[in-house]
Amino acid sequence: DDEPADSRDRSVFLVRNELPFNAEPELPALIQHMVTPTERFFKRNHGPIPNISADEYSLTVEVAGDGGVRKVWTLAELQSRFRHYEVMAALQCAGNRRDGLNRVKKVKGVIWGPGTISNAVWSGVFLREVLAASGVPTDPTHPMAQTWHVDFSAYGLCVEDASYGSSIPLQTALDPTQDVLLAFGMNGRPLPRDHGYPCRVVVPGIIGARSVKWLQTIRIIPEESHSFFQKRDYKILPPEANATNLADYWDGISALQQMNIQSVVCEPYEGRPAPPENTPYRVTGYAISGGGARVDRVDVSLDNGRTWVPTTLTRPCSSSAARLRPQDRDLPTTKHWAWTLWQVVVPQIPRDAVVVCRAWDANGNTQPEFPVWNYRGVMNNCWFRVDMKKCL
Ligand code: MTE
Ligand code: MO
């Protein structure tokens, strides 16, 4: 059953696949708001959208071995037993900008443009508090906390595996600065079905694939998830990996977690007419890094990278990007989970210009000038170019 329960406005989305439904908004619309309106938030689905009622929902927590601590939570219990938090965080698919790698050489996967990123205010409870109440050791020096993993699996079917699943290190889940949420709400409303109703994981700063929707089971296990999406997908395979030999590389390559440094020009946009020449123009876009690292700087070039101008950055708040409610401001974090929007007014955009952007993060990371091809087409963060000759 893939009956759409949510707004899937065709004038908002570039639909990349109908069944399962995969769609991204066009860039100028994407960055009109710091918090992406829910009906514009990109949708990435590996299978049909489950239809789960709040009354029937339950979440099972298991710990491998030792007879297995096992706890089953109803939605009402999850919502009433734990403190509620709000965290502003962007989700970005590791396949964002896959089209840029596909232009270099054919890749495997949904051919996404640069719109599989969106920024929302998520509300829910902290995963670490639910784990603690489920009997999982939460002392960071406990051997389990140091090496085990939190394996999430979802309700519903999916195309590549029996069900959708993924894992993060237990250490990440337990770290109070990481803000890993079990979310019930998005932008002040219950999660829409397309985004995981009634409960999903939100792991800020980490590739979208780990933020499992329609969460059914959490298993604390000594190794990573055995899911297709952990073991075989979402890895940067070396350039010699291809359709016939890729299995040879799976074991040696890490499953992606933190995102890399990214920035994209949203206006001008190749899908729109070029702005008139000899007129000042506001170049805009988004930028974000992985692991909550702050975006320090975004530069724009109008001559394909020979000369650059700095841009003005807009962050949701200056010190702590994640803390929205006054009572939460003293919680220990300085993480930048939200995206940064940026703009610069240039005197004009010549008709033969190639508009480029590149960003730096607090760790000194910047974007590569050219695409780094890999078979699965993930983590493309090369300089973003808008060729004015390609505008409508
Ligand atoms: N969870 C389930 N159950 N099924 C999925 O297909 N897709 C993942 C993740 N969680 C997925 C999932 C991927 S690859 C991404 S990028 C994000 O959800 C997208 O979240 P969104 O659809 O809310 O934008
Ligand atoms: Mo994704």
List, for the chain, all residue ranges whose pLDDT scores fall below the cut of 70.
1-5, 66-68, 317-333
Residues of the chain with CATH 2.60.40.650: 262-390
Residue 66's pLDDT is what? Answer: 67
Residue 326's pLDDT is what? Answer: 57
Return the best residue to mutate from 16, 41, 93 for the ligand 1 pocket (most ligand atoms within 8 A of CB). Answer: 93
Whether 333 and 179 have beta carbons less than 8 Å apart is answered as yes
- Tell me the CA–centroid distance for residue 93 and ligand 1, in Å: 8
Whether 113 and 265 have beta carbons less than 8 Å apart is answered as no
- Torsion region of 56: left, alpha or beta (phi above 0 gives left; psi -120 to 50 gives alpha): alpha
Residue 320's pLDDT is what? Answer: 42
Evaluate: CB of 208 within 6 angstroms of ligand 1.
yes
- Tell me the CA–centroid distance for residue 211 and ligand 2, in Å: 9
Q: How far apart are CA 108 and CA 373, in angstroms?
A: 11
Return the best residue to mutate from 17, 40, 43, 44 for the ligand 1 pocket (most ligand atoms within 8 A of CB). Answer: 44
- Tell me the CA–centroid distance for residue 277 and ligand 2, in Å: 38
Residues of the chain with CATH 3.90.420.10: 38-250
Peptide bond into 368 cis (omega under 30): no
The torsion of the CA quartet 11, 263, 363, 206, rounded to 10 degrees, works out to 30
Strand partners, 360: 297, 366
Evaluate: CB of 200 within 6 angstroms of ligand 1.
no
Report, at the CATH architecture level, how domain 38-250 is classified.
Answer: Alpha-Beta Complex (3.90)
Per-residue exposure over 287-305, b if at least 16 CB sit within 10 Å of its own CB, e if not: bbbbbbbbbbbbbbbbeee
Residue 325's pLDDT is what? Answer: 57
Sign of CA dihedral 191, 194, 196, 202: negative
CA atoms within 13 A on the CB side of 266: 23
- CATH of 262-390, picked from 2.60.40.650, 3.40.50.880, 1.10.3720.10, 3.40.605.10, is 2.60.40.650
Report the amino acid identity of residue 54. Answer: A
Looking at all shown ligands, the one closest to residue 194's CA atom is: 1
DSSP 238-255: -TT--TTTTHHHHTTSPP
Nearest to residue 60, comparing CAs of 50, 46, 73, 76? Answer: 73
Written as six digits, the tokens of 382 are 């090369």
Q: How far apart are CA 240 and CA 258, in angstroms?
A: 24
Report the amino acid identity of residue 205. Answer: G
Which residues 6+ apart lie within 8 Å of 75 measured at CB? 54, 55, 57, 58, 59, 184, 198, 199
Whether 33 and 88 have beta carbons less than 8 Å apart is answered as no
Q: How far apart are CA 97 and CA 114, in angstroms?
A: 4
Residue 140's pLDDT is what? Answer: 81
Residue 101's pLDDT is what? Answer: 98
Residue 65's pLDDT is what? Answer: 86
Residue 70's pLDDT is what? Answer: 87
Whether 200 and 152 have beta carbons less than 8 Å apart is answered as no
Phi, psi of 273 (to 5 degrees): -65, 150
Residue 10's pLDDT is what? Answer: 87
- Tell me the CA–centroid distance for residue 210 and ligand 1, in Å: 8
CA distances to 186, 200, 267, 302 from 383, in Å: 31, 32, 15, 13
Q: Any idea how long the chain is?
A: 392
- Tell me the ipTM for this assembly: 1.00
Q: How far apart are CA 378 and CA 262, in angstroms?
A: 12
Report the SS3 class of residue 156: coil
Which atom of ligand 1 is least distant from the CA of 47?
6
Q: How far apart are CA 246 and CA 250, in angstroms?
A: 7
